[in-house]
Structure 1
């Protein structure tokens, strides 16, 4: 797990930067799942504008980065999960982390108010490509 501490209002931007770093390092877009703890990611909103069926089909196809709310109820496991802690609510952050762990294969990148999380073995900073 990698922690990228940043204020909740900057978590989304930092998560997008983490995704860019992962892609630049050679990660397959279909290996990446971005989960938000509070507000939907703008790309998720864009994809949903084409209809729920098309949105969920993208998850099944697994060809591109998939953006969803951490409350995702469909089975979704990707090698890399980027968790956006875009809330200051400590309880929601802890629950979001627990949920995100169930979706991550080899790497979980947590962007946001990471100081609110229980002590977990992690690396801090920007060294995302793992």
Structure 2
């Protein structure tokens, strides 16, 4: 989904809404940010690290994390928020996001930086 870094977060939120409206379960969706954390991640972390990570295991809601986070982050659908610059940083995050996606990866922003990594991938036309 084309967007500049300042718009990527908003585009990702719209994408998550569309995924949920189309019938995806919230527990199937993982949102990863390349730059600043998603506000919902910051909110959830305010309750403590243990509670935050328990939500990943419970898989009842959309989970938000930093794209550089290690560990067992995997969901059927991954939405990558490219809200930072740096071709190498974006490309690395895109590769990790693709590895974490079971069936669908949506990249919001930075699409030119990652296009060569996924030849043949559908690239939507901007609305």
Q: Which band: TM-score by shorter chain?
A: over 0.9
How many residues of Structure 1 are paired with residues of Structure 2 in the alignment? 123
**Aligned match of 2:12:** 15
Q: Does 1:6 align with 2:27?
A: no
**Aligned match of 2:80:** 83
Structure with the greater relative contact order (CA < 8 A, sep ≥ 6): 1 or 2?
1
Mapped to 1, the partners of 2:51 and 2:23 lie a distance apart of 26
Mapped to 1, the partners of 2:40 and 2:124 lie a distance apart of 25
Greater helix share, 1 or 2?
2
Structure 1: gaps (5+ residues)? none
Match of 1:58 among 55, 58, 65: 55
Mapped to 2, the partners of 1:74 and 1:59 lie a distance apart of 11
In the TM superposition, structure 1's runs of 4+ consecutive aligned residues that sit over 2 Å from their partners are none
Mapped to 2, the partners of 1:88 and 1:76 lie a distance apart of 23
The RMSD of aligned alpha carbons is 1.1
Greater strand share, 1 or 2?
1
Q: Does 1:100 align with 2:97?
A: yes
Q: TM-score by structure 2 length?
A: 0.93
